[in-house]
Amino acid sequence: MKVSLRNRLFLAFVSVIVIVGLLCTVLGVGLIHYTMPRIQEEVRLDLNSAREIYQEHIAHVSDVVRLTALRIFLKEGLSRGDVDGLLAPLVEARERESLDLLNLTDAQGDLLLKARNPEERGQTEAARQIVEKALSEKRVVASTVVFAGEDLLKEDDELAELARIEVVPTPHARSNPDVDDLAGMFLLAAAPIFDDEGELLGVLYGGELLNGRYDYVDKVRDDIYGQEKYRGREVGVVTVFLGEKRIATNAVTPTGERAIGTLVSEEVYRRVLVEGKSWTERAFAVNDWYLTAYEPICDPSGTPVGILGLGLLERKFKDMERKALWIFLAVTFGGLAVSTATCFFLARTIMRPITSLVRATKNLARGNLQERVELDRAPPEIAVLGKAFNTMVASIRERDEQLQQQTQEELMRSDRLAMIGQLAAGVAHEINNPLGSILLFSRLLLQQAPREGVMRENLHRIEKETKRCHTIVQSLLEFARQREPQVELLHVNGILDSTVQLFESQFLFHNIEVVRDYQPDLPQVRADPAQVQQVFMNIIINAADAMKGKGTLTITTRSADADKQVVISISDTGCGIPPEDIERIFDPFFTTKGVGHGTGLGLSLSYGIIQRHGGSLRVNSEVGVGTTFVAVLPASEEEQ
Ligand SMILES: Nc1ncnc2c1ncn2[C@@H]1O[C@H](COP(=O)(O)OP(=O)(O)OP(=O)(O)O)[C@@H](O)[C@H]1O
Ligand SMILES: [Mg+2]
C-alpha cells in the first residue's frame, strides 16, 4: 500500500509527538514511583525521633522517682523502722507527681508500702524484676514494664480497670490471639534509698500507665507530622502496642474513636514481637494501608513486650501518584490531540502548493501548455519550484511554437521542391534531346568550318553555351531523379578530409586557412559516399565564393544525442547571407551569383540528399561576419 506524502508527513509528526509524550509519561511515572521508597525511608528515620521522645518520657519518670527517693522523710522513716508513718507523705507524693503507681520495698526487695492502695499487700512479679535490678546495681533503673492483669488487680482494682482495653477485631489483624484485657504497660523507675552512711534502706519504685494515655502519641504526632489530615484521616499515625494490642494511638476507627484494642497484623507481629526485629514496609493498620516503621519495646530483661510504631497514610501518596499519572496522561493526550490537529493542518499547508504543482504537471502532461502555478506565497523552496515550472512551461510552449513553424516551413519547402522537381524534370527531358542534336550538329559544322574566321568562333561559342545548357539540364535531371542513396558505413572525418584535399591546391583556396576540429572517435554513419561528398563540396565552394578567396574555413565534427547523431558544421568568415535571402537559399535556382556563375541548384540538391539520409541541413548566418552550415546525420547503430 502506498502512503501519500501528506499522510507520511502527518504520521511522521504524530509519531514524534507520541514518542515524546509516552517518554514523558514513563519518565513521570518512574519519578513518582521513585518517591515512594524515599517516603518509606523518611518514616524509618522518624521512628528514631519517636524513640527519643519515648526515652525522654522514661527519663522524666525516672527523675520523678529518683527525686522522691532522695527525700528526708523516707530516709528517716526507714531508718527508724516507722513504715506506717511513711504512708501519708508517700500518698501525698504520688498524687503530687501524678504517678499511677508508687511503692516502697525494704532492702531485700520485699514490699513495705503501696501508696495507691495501702490495703493490698504482696509484691507483683513484673515489679520484682526492676526492683532487684535497682538493688543489685545500687542505682536508679527505668524501663518499660508490663503488668499482667492479675498483677494489676493485686496493685489496685481501679488501676486494673483503667488499664482494661478489650480486643476490637479489624481486617488484616492477628486472629484468635490470647490477649489479656487487663494487662497494663508502665514506664517504671526504681530508685534505691540509702542512709547517711550509704547503707541500703530500701527501694522506691513507681511509674505511669501507658494504657489509654495519649499525651505521648499526640506529642510525637505533633512533633513529626503536625495536625495534617487527609480525607478526614490523620496522615501521620503514632502507636504504642502492648504485645500486639494498640493501647495508645492517634489512629481512628471508622466511627472516629481512637483505635485502641485493635491488633497489629500477623506479619508485623511475627517480625517485631517474635523475632525482635524492626519492620519498615507498607503494612495494614486498623483499616488502611500505611508506610510504616515498627520496632520492639523491651522490658528490663530485653524481651520484646510491646511495639512502637509509626505510619504515614499510603492513600495520600497513592492518590498523589495517581493524580500525577492522570495529569501526565492528560497533558500527553491533550497535547497529542492539539498537536495532531496542528500537524494535520501543517501537513495540509505544506502539501497544498505541492498538490497544485502536481495538478499543473498532470494538466501539462495532458497537453495544456497554458498551465501556470501561483506559488508566490508558498515556502521559498517550493516557490522556486513553481517559478521553475512556469519557466519550463513557457519554454516548452516557445519550443512547441518554433517546432510547429519549422515543420510548416519544411513542409512548404518540400512541396515546393517536389513541384519544381517535377516541372524541371519535364522541361529537362524535353530540352535534353534537342540540346543533344544542337551539340551534335554544331560539332559537325565545326568540322566543316574553315580553320580561321568568325564562323568557327561563333560555332565554338554555340558549342560552349550548348555544353553549359547540357550541364544545367543534367543537374536538373539529377535533381529531379532524386536517386536513392547507395549507403555504406562511412567515416565522416575521412570524407571531409578528402573533399578539402580536392580544393586545397586550387587557386581559389590559396589564401584560405582551413581549420579542422574533428572529434576523433566520431561514430560512423550509413550514407552514400558520393552524395555526401557532393554536399560537402557544394557547401565548401559556396564558402570559398563568399570569402572571395580569403578567410578561415572551420570544419567541426561532433557526436550528439548520446552518439546517435553526427553533427558537421562548416563555417566561413565570408560576406554572410542577408535575412531576406535566408529563406530562399535552399530553393532551386536561387542564386546571387551572376549569370553563368551559379545555377542556384547546389544547396537545394544538398538539402534533398541530407533529407533522404534521414538528417537535416540548417544555416546560421550574419551579414559581414560569416555563415555556418550545420548538417546532422544519424549515426549508424551497428557495432563499429
Ligand atoms: N557560404 C555562403 N555565404 C554567403 N552566401 C551563400 C553561402 N552559401 C550559399 N550562399 C547563397 O546562397 C545562394 C544559393 O547557393 P547555391 O549553392 O544553391 O547556388 P549557387 O552557389 O549560387 O550556384 P551553384 O551552386 O549552382 O553553382 C548563393 O547564390 C549565395 O547567394
Ligand atoms: Mg553553390
Q: Name every residue whose Cβ is closer than 8 Å to that of residue 71 and which is 6 or more positions away in sequence.
A: 89, 93
Give the bridge partners for 176, in sequence order: none
pLDDT of 27: 85
Residue 640: pLDDT band with limits 50, 70, 90: low
In this prediction, residues 485-498 reach a mean pLDDT of: 91
Question: Which range (43-57, 137-151, 190-204, 472-486) has the least confidence?
Answer: 472-486
Closest atom, ligand 1, to C-alpha of 600? 19
**Cα 153 from Cα 161, distance rounded (Å):** 9
Atom of ligand 1 nearest to the CA of 543: 1
pLDDT at residue 518 in the model: 96
Cell 501519500 found at: 4
Ligand 1 centroid distance, CA of 572 (Å): 13
Average pLDDT, the chain: 89
Check residue 395 and give its pLDDT. Answer: 92
Residue 343, all three cell numbers: 500537524
C-alpha of residue 425 to centroid of ligand 1, in Å: 22
Is any atom of ligand 1 closer than 6 Å to the C-beta of 363?
Answer: no
> Which is nearest to 515 in space by CA: 571, 561, 471?
571
Comparing 57 with 354, the larger pLDDT belongs to 57
pLDDT of residue 90: 93
The most distant pair of C-alpha atoms in the chain lies apart, rounded to whole Å, by: 207
Q: Among 603, 609, 617, 629, which residue has the most ligand 1 atoms within 8 Å of its CB, making it the best to mutate?
A: 603
Q: Is the pTM of this model over 0.75?
A: no
Q: What pLDDT, on a 0 to 100 scale, did the predictor assign at position 536?
A: 95
Task: Please give the pLDDT value at position 481.
Answer: 65
Flag whether pLDDT at 418 surpasses 80.
no
Count of C-beta atoms within a 10 Å radius of residue 378: 20
- Tell me what pLDDT residue 419 has: 79
Domain 1-350 and domain 485-634 have a common topology: no
Quick check: 462 and 449 in contact, CB under 8 A?
no
- 286, 251 Cβ separation under 8 angstroms: yes
- 482 pLDDT band (50/70/90 cuts)? low
To 10 degrees, the CA torsion angle through 133, 135, 137, 138? 140
Binning pLDDT at 50, 70 and 90, where does residue 576 land?
A: very high
- State if residue 546 touches ligand 1 by the CB under 6 angstroms criterion: yes
> Is 596 within 8 Å of 468 (Cβ atoms)?
yes
Q: How many CB atoms lie within 10 A of CB 617?
A: 20
CATH superfamily, region 485-634: Histidine kinase-like ATPase, C-terminal domain (3.30.565.10)
Q: Which position has the grid cell 568540322?
A: 447
Task: Determine the Cα–Cα distance for residues 598 and 238; give it in Å rounded to an integer.
Answer: 131
Higher pLDDT, 585 or 175: 585
Question: Is 484's pLDDT higher than 80?
Answer: no
Residue 543, H or E segment: helix 529-547
Residue 1 confidence (pLDDT): 67
- Between the CA of residue 215 and those of 47, 171, 249, 312, what are the distances in Å? 17, 27, 10, 19
Q: Is the CB of 620 under 6 A from ligand 1?
A: no
Residue 442 near residue 497, CB atoms below 8 Å: no
- At the topology level, CATH places domain 1-350 in Beta-Lactamase (3.30.450)
Q: Provide long-range contacts, Cβ within 8 A and 24+ apart, for 75-83.
A: 75/193, 75/194, 75/195, 75/196, 75/201, 78/106, 78/193, 78/195, 78/201, 78/202, 79/195, 79/201, 83/112, 83/113
**What is the pLDDT averaged over residues 32-48?**
88
Buried/exposed code over 341-354 (b: 16+ C-beta within 10 A; e: otherwise): eebeeebeebbebb
Q: Which amino acid is at 193?
A: I
Q: Specify the residue for cell string 499522510.
A: 7
Q: Is 575 in the pocket of ligand 1 (CB under 6 A)?
A: yes
pLDDT digits (tens, 9 = 90+) for 3-33: 787 788 888 888 888 888 888 878 877 887 7
Ligand 2 centre distance from Cα of residue 599 (Å): 8
What string of H, E and C letters represents the secondary structure of 590-613? CCCCCCCCCCCCHHHHHHHHHHHC
Residue 399, burial from CB neighbour count under 10 angstroms (0-12, 13-18, 19+):
exposed
**What's 171's DSSP letter?**
T
Which sequence spans correspond to the domains of the chain? 1-350, 485-634
| Average pLDDT of the residues in 427-439 | 84
Amino acid at 171: P
Is the pLDDT reported for residue 121 higher than 70? no
> For residue 22, what pLDDT is reported?
83
Q: How many CB atoms lie within 10 A of CB 283?
A: 21
Rg (CA), the chain: 65
239-271 pLDDT tens trace: 999 999 999 999 988 888 999 999 999 999 999
β-bridge pairing 304-313 and 288-298: antiparallel
Is residue 285 within 8 A of residue 266, CB to CB? The reply is no
Measure Cα distances from 573 to 107, 328, 531, 538, 542 in Å: 150, 85, 26, 16, 12
Q: Whose CA is nearest to atom 27 of ligand 1?
A: 598
Q: Is the dihedral of CA 439, 445, 448, 453 positive or negative?
A: negative
- As a whole number of angstroms, the distance between CA 538 and CA 536 comes to 5
Measured from the alpha carbon of residue 601, the closest ligand is: 1
pLDDT at 378 (0 to 100)? 79
Task: State the pLDDT at residue 483.
Answer: 64
Instruction: Find out whether the beta carbon of 602 lies less than 6 Å from any atom of ligand 1.
Output: yes
Q: What is the pLDDT of residues 170-194, one digit of tens each?
A: 888 888 678 888 899 999 999 999 9
The answer to which of 121-130, 216-225, 533-542 has the lowest mean pLDDT is 121-130
The pLDDT > 90 percentage for the chain reads: 49
591 in contact with ligand 1, CB cutoff 6 A: yes
Beta strand 525-527 pairing with 550-560: unpaired
